[in-house]
Amino acid sequence: MGRPAAVLASGAALTVLCGCTVQASGEGQRTPVRIELPSGTPSAKPAPPDDKPSSTPTPPAPAVLWSRGDEGRDIRELQARLRQIAWLFDGPTGTYDDLTEQAVRGFQGKRGLPRTGKTDEVTWQRLLKMTREPGKWDLYLMGGQEADAPDARCLTGRVLCISKSSRTLRWMIDGRTVMTVPVRFGSQYTPTREGVFSVYWKSRHHVSTLYDSPMPYAMFFSGGQAVHYSSDFAATGYAGASHGCVNVRDERAIAEMFAQVRTGDKVVVHW
């Protein structure tokens, strides 16, 4: 009995090592048990976690709305809003010039924005929150507006056709506009008279005896009211008013007009 038992024991050991199925013989047979040996190649270990934080993509730069060289009504609004908060003192001109670029750069730097001098979406939104909607004469503070259609009374003869609606003066001959300039009128306390008049006196170097102020290139049409050059209008635009005269801010243009207008030419002041 000793030898067969040893043979059986060795066989069982060999079976375990070979990974085969072991079955018991005779009655009371049990469910086979399968024993697997580990393979010779170890399973790969999971990669250690990356200690470096994942890189976040750089957000795109805000879109540029306007930059140097751009022109138009939007540039006037930009300049008018910059004037409100004292970053710009000239204009509005409607042209994105070097002064506008410097003003935008200063505004950006003051608020921690990139100092590009270009008006991007972020800069514009910040400016909108700090300013009010500019009115028409804020946008055209220094002139540049279009003239409205001439009054019917201006379509014949030689006429200084002056519109209070568009704040412009057309110098017209036989229905043709020779030149157009922006003009300024009297305040509510000293309004410019409306109607049809004629030039009754011209005075190149006139000085007002009532207000002791210069009135160069004066062309009188109603009492003491005249069309003349105004250095104040040239400096401050529509922020001021006259004492009833029609002010012109373009000295070159009124000098040329003064040379052409004759005593007796018609003057029409209308809405």
Whether 186 and 95 share a structural domain: no
167 with 146: CB under 8 angstroms?
A: no
Whether 104 and 168 share a structural domain: no
Whether 242 and 183 share a structural domain: yes
Q: What is the CATH number of the domain that holds 97?
A: 1.10.101.10
User: How many other C-beta atoms lie within 10 A of the C-beta of residue 110?
Assistant: 11
pTM: predicted TM-score of the whole model, two decimal places: 0.74
216 with 223: CB under 8 angstroms?
A: no
In a domain, 12, yes or no: no
Tens digits of residue pLDDT in 162-207: 999 999 999 999 999 999 999 999 999 999 999 999 999 999 999 9
Whether 131 and 190 share a structural domain: no
Tens digits of residue pLDDT in 243-257: 999 999 999 999 999
pLDDT band at 258 (very low <50, low <70, confident <90, very high): very high
Whether 160 and 212 share a structural domain: yes
Domain assignment of residue 177, given as a range: 152-270
Give the pLDDT mean for 6-35.
42
Q: What is the CATH number of the domain that holds 164?
A: 2.40.440.10
Whether 173 and 215 share a structural domain: yes
Whether 158 and 131 share a structural domain: no
pLDDT band at 269 (very low <50, low <70, confident <90, very high): very high
Give the pLDDT mean for 31-39.
51
Tens digits of residue pLDDT in 84-100: 999 999 999 999 999 99
Q: What is the largest CA-CA distance in the chain?
A: 155
Structure tokens at 67: 């930059």
Give the per-residue SS3 of the chain: CHHHHHHHHHHHHHHHHHCCEECCCCCCCCCCEECCCCCCCCCCCCCCCCCCCCCCCCCCCCCEEECCCCECHHHHHHHHHHHHCCCCCCCCCCECCHHHHHHHHHHHHHCCCCCCCCEEHHHHHHHHHHCCCCCHHHHCCCCCCCCCCCCHHHCCCEEEEEECCCCEEEEEECCEEEEEEEEECECCCCCCCCEEEECCEEEEEEECCCCCCEEEEEEEEECCEEEEECHHHHHHHHHCCECCCEEECCHHHHHHHHHHCCCCCEEEEEC
267 with 247: CB under 8 angstroms?
A: no
Tens digits of residue pLDDT in 90-143: 999 999 999 999 999 999 999 999 999 999 999 999 999 999 999 999 999 999
> Which residues carry out catalysis?
228, 245
Q: What is the pLDDT of residue 149?
A: 96
User: What's the domain count of the chain?
Assistant: 2
In a domain, 127, yes or no: yes
pLDDT band at 54 (very low <50, low <70, confident <90, very high): low
The least confident of 20-34, 58-72, 254-268 is: 20-34
- Please give the distance of CA 88 from its chain centroid, rounded to a whole number: 14
Q: Pick the closest to residue 249 from 167, 151, 129 (CA basis).
A: 167
- Higher confidence at residue 33 or residue 193? 193
In a domain, 117, yes or no: yes
Give the pLDDT mean for 29-40.
50
Q: Please give the Cα distance from 91 to 80 (Å, whole number).
A: 8
Q: Where does a domain end: 114, 139, 164? A: 139
Whether 117 and 159 share a structural domain: no
218 with 258: CB under 8 angstroms?
A: no
Whether 252 and 188 share a structural domain: yes
Q: Where does a domain end: 84, 111, 139? A: 139
Give the pLDDT mean for 35-55.
55
